[in-house]
Amino acid sequence: MVYRVLGLMSGSALDGLDIVFVEFQENGGKWQYEIIQGETYPYEKEWVEKLRNAINLKALDYQLLDVEYGHYTAAEVNKFINKHGLDFKVQLIASHGHTTFHVPSKKMTAQLGDGASIAAATGINVVSDLRAIDMALHGHGAPIVPIGEKLLLNDYDLFLNIGGIMNLSYRKPDEYIAYDVCPANRVMNMMAQKLGKEIDYNGDFARSGKLQPELLNHLNALEYYKMPYPKSLANDFGTDVIFPMAAKSGYSIQDGLRTFVEHMAEQLKASLVALLDGQAGKKRILVTGGGAHNTFLIERLTALLQEIDVEVVVPDKVLVDFKEALIMGLIGVLRWREEINVMSTVTGADRDSIGGAVWMGQPWN
């Protein structure tokens, strides 16, 4: 069976809306994919501010923004379809939306981007609200990407996505483990912006800084890192806890960035040491997400992971940039097929689930 799908992803780093047009093929339970087109539509400053400040809005204003962002998303989708000549070729849109609230202890998560608005404005069937049922089943609603890693990228046992938050997946023979390791790009971007740049290109600011052991120890001692998995992070752990520590510690921003990069590398190494538990044999970890373009960060990850015999692999740019949007597309297809698309072993939910709300944008007559 062949499915031609648009996968949409807006990450917490606020860099833009990722759109991919993917052809999935399923044969006897085995999946293959081809990314035919992919683009990132950067957010203008107005939208960066709207999304960043959404958590501070009154209830009505938040709901209005949800609809507005849904129509904004639909407009970007229509632009993508027109540019690439995809009229009448897209069977389904799977939209993650933009996460605002994430409170697993209250069984609540919220992503902006009203699915009904996207469906109505594109005339294409839409799957959205991908995390909600897992949260209702006492899960963390995250991570949800592992189902795609399991079905599409089975050459690897370890996966690392470095987006606004850095998350890790480990495919063991008898179980699948995944969780959020620590904040990542959102914090680095906020620090780079204090130096007049949107991001720390290639990690140059961090490379020029000096490692501050005292700050590193304080970061590594935070309570989250002592918690067992399954576990997940909301954006505010990075923006309200990590960022003030790294940026307002009495050190230069460059020193803060250098130390934060080391913090990320040390937390990943510690996570892998615990997960691998002395297993013999070299492992490979596939690294994707915007942070994979940060050469200094990749250098530090490579250096620390060599110590535990784990090889860092950065794939081609298309997979680096669009892995999450790709997997959102697959999650949407699985929802359409009424098949499991969220694994309880990684989220901690009561059971596996079929997540996503379906909105019929295609006219019936």
| Cβ atoms of residues 13 and 163 within 8 Å | yes
Tell me how crowded residue 361 is: count the other CB atoms within 10 A of its CB: 20
Q: What percent of the chain has pLDDT over 70?
A: 99
| Residue among 292, 283, 285 nearest 318 (CA) | 292
Strand partners, 285: 158, 312
- Work out the end-to-end distance of the chain between its first and last CA atoms, rounded to an integer number of angstroms: 25
- The residues near 3 (Cβ < 8 Å, ≥ 6 apart) are 23, 24, 25, 26, 91, 92, 333, 336
Confidence of residue 287 (pLDDT cuts 50, 70, 90): very high
Lowest mean pLDDT, pick from 40-44, 236-240, 247-251? 247-251
Tell me how crowded residue 316 is: count the other CB atoms within 10 A of its CB: 8
pLDDT of residue 174: 82
Mean pLDDT of 84-102: 97
The DSSP element (H or E) to which 324 belongs, if any, is helix 317-336
Q: pLDDT tens-digit profile of 111-124?
A: 999 999 999 999 99
| Cβ atoms of residues 174 and 260 within 8 Å | no
Rounded CA separation 329/20 (Å)? 8
DSSP assignment of 165-185, as one string? EEEEEEE-SS-EEEEEEEE-H
pLDDT of residue 363: 86
| Cβ atoms of residues 334 and 147 within 8 Å | yes
The number of helix segments (H) and strand segments (E) in the chain equals: 14, 12
Q: Give the pair of three-digit tokens for residue 331.
A: 């999650």
Residue 312, pLDDT > 70, answer: yes
Residue 88, pLDDT > 80, answer: yes
- Relative to beta strand 108-112, strand 126-128 is unpaired
User: What does each C-alpha distance from 290 to 169, 265, 297, 298 come to in angstroms?
Assistant: 17, 16, 11, 11
Q: pLDDT tens-digit profile of 2-27?
A: 999 999 999 888 889 999 999 999 99
Read off the pTM.
0.91
Mean pLDDT of 40-57: 96
pLDDT of residue 280: 65
Rounded CA separation 186/211 (Å)? 20
- Relative to beta strand 92-103, strand 126-128 is parallel
Rounded CA separation 181/309 (Å)? 19
Residue 365, pLDDT > 90, answer: no
What are residue 329's phi and psi, to 5 degrees?
A: -60, -45
Confidence of residue 279 (pLDDT cuts 50, 70, 90): confident
Residue 248, pLDDT > 90, answer: no
pLDDT of residue 27: 96
Domains of the chain: 2-146+322-359 (3.30.420.40), 154-319 (3.30.420.40)
DSSP at 311: E
| Cβ atoms of residues 145 and 151 within 8 Å | no
DSSP at 107: T
pLDDT of residue 278: 74
